[in-house]
Amino acid sequence: MICMVFKKAAAAATRRFSPHLQRRWTASWIALSAVLMLTVLPAPAANPADPVAGLLRSKIEQRRQRHAFVCQGEILCGLAVIPAFYARRHYLPAWSHAGRVLPAAGELLKTLEQASQEGLRPADYHLHKIKALLADLESPPPGASPPPAAWADLDLLLTDSFLLYAAHLTAGRVNPETYDPQWLAFSPSVDLGTTLSAALRSGSIAAGLRQLAPPQPGYTRLKNALQHYRQLAAVGGWPTLPAGTRLGRNDCDARVLLLRRRLASSGDLAPGRADPANECFDAPLESALIAYQQRNHLKPDGILGPDTLRALNVPLKNRIRQIVINLERWRWIPRDLGRRHILVDIADFHLALVERGQALLGMRIVVGRSYRRTPVFSSKITYLVLNPYWNVPRRLASKDILPRVLADPLYLKQQKIRIFENWRADAREIDAHTIDWKHLKGHRFPYRMRQDPGPQNALGRIKFMFPNRFSVYLHDTPHRELFAHFQRDFSSGCIRVQRPVSLAVELLKYNAGWDRAKISARIASGQRRVVVLKKPIRIHLLYRTAWVDASAKLHFRPDIYGRDRLLEKALLAKPPAG
């Protein structure tokens, strides 16, 4: 649903927003709205000289104790903000004066009509009803004057459209936590009523709304890509390539002509780089296909095989939807990522350490399997552990380790895994040979398994810790061979990093004396050591299936966890009927 629940974040009317996705208004929404409305009582009296002001107050007062605020058949989503906004202005209309529509209303309508540029839907913001009202007000029947009630309705609809659009720009149309418990969205603090008042005073509604959108260059670049792809769709899109044998350098086939057109349409084959009538697969075409493969996480071999053909034939409308989905995700992350931060791109299997907008370090990563998905959230790395223990999570102990113990009685000894009676810090160690392992199968696993530090430890030689409710972290791995795979979803949720020592060097650069040599020496000692970062670093776990890099190249990635499908369903949900 498009309506947002406006939550009270501070006594000063700072708001946090989370979307309302059901077709009915929930009890929490009702209770919250009542609390917020009570904070603006007693309200100042409406201006008795302005009949529209009196009607605005009356309409708002009548809705205070109701479950929803309906105006002209439209549900108003800003019920928790509208009373305070109008009370502060003595219920004077915000968008008209003395029977005339103010320029701010026209600017707002123009801005809302362009909401599609942000990947949002103009129809969600009462546009049809507002335009119908405006037509009636601006062209009344001969000899008749528009009733004040119509002006009051227009004002409420315009105010709600501003608040709703502002909320969507600030925090997105939907809250991922409502359909994906492994996704924590950033909770912005914005007073939308104050934002609206400031925009009206400044005389620039568009500028007031623009400042609420994500400020990162990546968001703007993706918006530009959306416009480009929509323009491409308007002129017919790109051709579909028929199935056939694999095509590579020096092969001649009629499908080569279609391949040239397809790569030219997506900008991978520059105009004039090859003869468009040449049916033979030449060097410029091979280079263009490699560029396409790199942008789409395909093996960059310059060969038109089944995987590449499948990606090339993804309909343009699907790619447009993918861009819209990822624009929404931009609105869920912190506006300030930090001067120095780490980006973990789950769908791209890549980690980057960024400082002042420049990537200082990049590496491959291994992420969770589809049934043990890596979550999405932001935190801070506060310390790292050299030569860590691995306390095997109960689920893994029961489902992964126990079957191996049953198959090989020497498995625990070989892997240097010790058994403790429970998860308390002072738990007593137990001799593994005294446990009836067969009896544990299918039952709740009561013991704690702990793997000692060493080359076989599942966490490798370093782990990087940041507080989160999912108990995930970055760590080294003894299975270095996994980084050679193209798709790297092999873990149980945590993130394995390709260059742990290099990452540790960067994170400890502000800790005196902790250079690469000292880190390596401490690792070689085999002794567990906790090192607290003098300067903790922000880390953002992201799930992006479309983005535009600094060189203006648009990248797509497979939706390895099916998260695009869930978000698309939420974005396509119909608004509630009034």
Q: Are 544 and 329 in contact (CB under 8 A)?
A: yes
Owning domain of residue 229? 222-317
Q: Are 1 and 20 in contact (CB under 8 A)?
A: yes
Sign, CA torsion 211/215/219/224 = positive
CA distances from 389 to 76, 139, 385, 498 (A): 54, 77, 9, 19
Q: Are residues 196 and 91 in the same domain?
A: yes
Q: Are residues 166 and 21 in the same domain?
A: yes
Q: Is residue 491 in some structural domain?
A: yes
d(Cα 501, Cα 383) in Å, to the nearest integer? 14
Q: Is residue 385 in some structural domain?
A: yes
d(Cα 227, Cα 233) in Å, to the nearest integer? 10
Q: Is residue 578 in some structural domain?
A: no
CA atoms within 13 A on the CB side of 42: 3
Q: Annotated active-site positions, please?
A: 475, 494
In the listed set 452, 476, 493, which residue is the last one of a domain according to the structure? Answer: 452
Q: Is residue 322 in some structural domain?
A: no
Q: Are residues 66 and 197 in the same domain?
A: yes
Number of independent structural domains in the chain = 4
Q: How far apart are the first and last CA of the chain?
A: 13
Q: Which residue has the tokens 């109701």?
A: 66
Q: Is residue 324 in some structural domain?
A: no
Q: Are residues 476 and 447 in the same domain?
A: no
Q: Are residues 411 and 537 in the same domain?
A: no
Selection from 131, 153, 2, 123 nearest residue 63 by Cα: 153
pLDDT in tens, 51-75: 999 999 999 988 765 667 888 888 8
In the listed set 194, 213, 232, which residue is the last one of a domain according to the structure? Answer: 213
pLDDT in tens, 295-314: 999 999 999 999 999 999 99
Residue 448: in which H helix or E strand, if any? strand 448-451
Q: Is residue 305 in some structural domain?
A: yes
CA atoms within 13 A on the CB side of 444: 2
Residues present in the chain in total: 578
Q: Are residues 68 and 130 in the same domain?
A: yes
| CATH number of the CATH domain containing 492 | 2.40.440.10
Residues of the chain with confidence (pLDDT) below 70: 1-49, 64-67, 274, 441-443, 575-578
Q: Are 193 and 84 in contact (CB under 8 A)?
A: yes
Query: What pLDDT sits at residue 441?
Result: 67
- The H helix count followed by the E strand count for the chain is 20, 21
Q: Is residue 569 in some structural domain?
A: no
Q: Which residue has the tokens 């996704």?
A: 183
In the listed set 213, 247, 274, which residue is the last one of a domain according to the structure? Answer: 213
d(Cα 275, Cα 40) in Å, to the nearest integer? 71
Q: Are 23 and 1 in contact (CB under 8 A)?
A: yes
Q: Are 479 and 497 in contact (CB under 8 A)?
A: no
Q: Would you call 564 helix, strand, or coil by DSSP?
A: helix
Q: How many CB atoms lie within 10 A of CB 191?
A: 17
Q: Are residues 458 and 447 in the same domain?
A: no
Query: What pLDDT sits at residue 48?
Result: 59
Q: Are residues 36 and 110 in the same domain?
A: yes
Torsion angle in degrees (nearest 10) through CA of 463, 467, 471, 473:
-30
HEC sequence for 6-36: EEECCCCCCEEEEECCCCCCCHHHHHHHHHH
Q: Is residue 551 in some structural domain?
A: no
Torsion angle in degrees (nearest 10) through CA of 369, 351, 299, 484:
-70
Q: Are residues 274 and 347 in the same domain?
A: no
Q: Are 168 and 159 in contact (CB under 8 A)?
A: no
Q: Are residues 31 and 176 in the same domain?
A: yes
Cα 89–3–112 angle (5° rounding)?
70
Q: Are residues 313 and 362 in the same domain?
A: no
Q: Are residues 10 and 132 in the same domain?
A: yes
Output the pTM of the full model: 0.89
